[in-house]
Structure 1
């Protein structure tokens, strides 16, 4: 009998093989959760669309011409919400533009936003990848 066994017997401690299995199972579940989180993060990054407003021109009180560029996954159709605002940051024009799929990673566009009042700015609010059946 080892010293550890004698101490365990003397003070009533027992070694349980079930506890090791519980700890091992907990470790496996923790690793699985980390891998799953990593996969969702990578998958979300692969389908992300970046947009930058490159110019805007207020034509008159009824329209704004917006220049913008997008960086999207090749072969994916994209939709962008473009917006015009007045000097008090009120939305005076808004439109969703659907961009067909292309093999090119970065593309530039010019779109007209109809407005209900004189705008002072135009910009891309957000862009997203369209599901395959929508393209």
Structure 2
């Protein structure tokens, strides 16, 4: 009677053929876990800003209303700017937002301008 071991030896099926697949699978799993952790770690400190509106006070200032969503307990900095009708920057300011227990904060800031602004916006925000 022929055993399965004899059949494996006859047709070249040995246990060593599985080792590269096991190593490859372990490496692939490690890469997936590392990529997942990098994604989670980068979004933990992500800051998002939404413009809510603006009001041109006069030719030398504009008020910008915006909401910032970021990690609770972290200081946040935002670069805000005012633009003219040709989208040229006529004023800008760095706004320091102190740490808060809330994830979202609504703010109104006054931006000094060198000419009449037709719009204002949040350029970018980051955790300081």
TM-score range, shorter-chain basis? 0.7 to 0.9
Q: Note the C-alpha offset of 1:22.
A: 2.0
CA distance in 2 between partners of 1:41 and 1:33 (Å): 12
| Structure 1 segments unaligned to the other structure (5+ residues) | 9-13, 131-135
TM value normalised by structure 2: 0.85
Change in CA separation of 1:29 and 1:57 when aligned onto 2, cut-off 3 Å = same
After superposition, the C-alpha distances for 1:32-90 in whole angstroms (9 at most, x for unaligned) are 11111111111222211121111211112211111111111110111111111111111
Unaligned runs of 5+ in 2: none
User: Which residue of structure 1 aligns with residue 70 of structure 2?
Assistant: 72
Give the total of aligned pairs: 125
Q: 2:125 corresponds to which residue?
A: 127
TM-score w.r.t. structure 1 length? Answer: 0.81
Q: Which residue of 2 is the match for residue 102 of structure 1?
A: 100
How big is each residue's C-alpha offset from its partner over 1:96-129, in whole Å with a ceiling of 9 and x where there is no partner? 1111111122111111111122110011111111
